[in-house]
Amino acid sequence: MNKAGSSGRQQDTNPTLSGSLAGALLSYLDAERLPARECRARLAHWKADGRIDATEWALCLYLIEQEAPRPALSLAIARHFQLEHAGLLAYFALSCDHLGEVIAQFDRVHRLMWQGFDVDLQRTGGQVTLSWATPLPPDETIRDIAQLAYETGIAGIVQILRILCGESLSPSAVTLVGKPPQTLAVYESFFGCPVSFSPDTSSLGFSSATLKLPISAKSTILKQLVERQAEAQLRAIDATDDFMSAFRSALGRAINAGSPTIDVVARELAMSRITLQRRLAARHTGFQEALDKTRFEMARMYMENPRLSLADIALLLAFSEQSAFNRAFRRWSGETPHHYRRNRIHPTPAPGP
């Protein structure tokens, strides 16, 4: 067995999920015409560009189940997953040509949607398997809630991949955590493959033929550019808190809009300039430092695209002119953007003997 892409990190004690997942639950509630007042009240506090604790996700699923129980609830909810519910993760997928590229980097980028759930990528022959350590708690009630939460997440991944590659996409094998349901046939019909159950592991397997499926949901240039911004955010994500996540998202939007000023970002975050400065200072950073870091990461990502000129990149990063970008980049890296791109991104091959 060839194991590749395993992060080797310990699973976080408090896993978090993208707040954009609220859209999937709301879509299900609306389609089923469920009042679900307590659940809806909780979802109203989720921010699409923020993060929520994994226990909050599980609690909302539990509230839905208590109001309107049904067999295979996880699968019914997963059918309402859309690309926008995957948040920035979707932009990475849209920049790929085929499913194999998406899976190859999944262990690295999945934390944009599910942070704290360590994923292993394993290759056996032509098959690739994504697996998660998902041990269930001993308490029976909490165990059932956790099983529902894990099932919905795994089924949601498959639903999003089908949006990307077409409804015919099916894993070669699926393992879900927990006890097998009486409606096993419903699960195998949804996934289109054999489904087994494990006490502590969830996994998705994909055959070599499936990995060759093209990404049919084609990306626009705007989505490609947002993907670059997502990459820059990913590099800085570490153990970020909700405030820094919201701040970086607001800063990225301000850069895209051409007005990355502290007043603009503070206004979007619904706080005063002084409050924003104080909260950044409490995290040992400042607005200009954060802006420079984000611009530098985005610049390096943009430079990998040979179709973008340095003038284009300067515009995308909201510089008044290319010369201002050149000066800033030299301050960040110690070299001009032209030199950096020529020697690090697109080096000239050495002459032959």
Is 313 found in the same domain as 175?
A: no
Q: pLDDT class for 94, splitting at 50, 70, 90?
A: confident
Contact 325, 317 (CB under 8 A): yes
| CATH number of residue 315's parent domain | 1.10.10.60
Q: Which domain holds residue 48?
A: 2-211
- Looking at residues 165-172, what average pLDDT do you find? 93
pLDDT of residue 8: 38
Task: Identify the pLDDT of residue 307.
Answer: 61
Q: 158, 187, 211: which is the final residue of a domain?
A: 211
Residue with tokens 């509230």: 63
Q: Which of 117, 56, 112 is nearest to 245 (CA)?
A: 112
Round to whole Å and give the CA distance between 199 and 206.
Answer: 22
168 contact partners, CB below 8 Å, separation of at least 6: none
Q: Let me know whether 338 and 290 are in one domain.
A: yes
The structure tokens listed for 193 are: 């493959």
Please give the structure tokens belonging to residue 179.
């006890």
Whether residue 351 is contained in a domain is answered as: no
Q: Residue 151 — pLDDT band, cuts 50, 70, 90?
A: very high
Query: What is the spatial distance between Cα 261 and Cα 266, in angstroms, rounded to a whole number?
Result: 9
314 and 228 assigned to the same domain: yes
Side by side, the strands of the sheet bearing 127-133 are 2-3, 119-124, 127-133, 201-206, 173-177, 195-198
292 φψ region: left (φ > 0), alpha (ψ -120 to 50), beta (else): alpha
pLDDT for the residue numbered 13: 53
What is the number of domains present in the chain? 2
Write down the pLDDT at residue 90. 72
Question: Would you say residue 4 has pLDDT above 60?
Answer: no
Domain boundary among the residues 211, 239, 266 is at: 211
Instruction: Convert the pLDDT of each residue in 48-76 to its tens digit.
Output: 767 789 999 999 999 999 999 999 999 99
* pLDDT value at residue 303: 84
Asked if residue 341 is part of any domain, the answer here is: yes
For residue 222, the model assigns a pLDDT of 45
Do residues 171 and 115 both lie within one domain?
Answer: yes
Identify the domain boundary among 181, 211, 241: 211
Contact (Cβ atoms closer than 8 angstroms) between residue 231 and residue 160:
no
Above 80 in pLDDT, residue 308? Answer: no
Q: Which of 131-140, 265-274, 291-300, 316-325 is the most confident on average? A: 265-274
In the chain, the percentage of residues whose pLDDT exceeds 90 is 50
- Looking at the structure, tell me whether residues 189 and 314 fall in a common domain: no
* Summary mean pLDDT of the chain: 84
pLDDT the model gives residue 347: 63
Q: Which two tokens stand for residue 71?
A: 């067999």
pLDDT number for residue 302: 81
Give the range among 56-70, 101-115, 207-221 with minimum mean pLDDT: 101-115
* Same-domain pairing of 280 and 235: yes
Residues with Cβ < 8 Å from 127, sequence gap 6 or more? 172, 205, 206, 207, 208
When pLDDT is cut at 50, 70 and 90, the band that residue 233 belongs to is low
pLDDT over 90 (residue 336): yes
What distance in Å separates the CA atoms of residue 1 and residue 71, rounded to the nearest whole number?
36
176, β-bridge pairs: 197
**Between these two residues, 109 and 127, which has the higher pLDDT value?**
127
Structural domain contains residue 352: no
pLDDT band at 145 (very low <50, low <70, confident <90, very high): very high
With cut-offs at 50, 70 and 90, classify the pLDDT of residue 253: confident
Q: Are 183 and 240 found together in one domain?
A: no
Q: How confident is the model at residue 331 (pLDDT cuts 50, 70, 90)?
A: very high
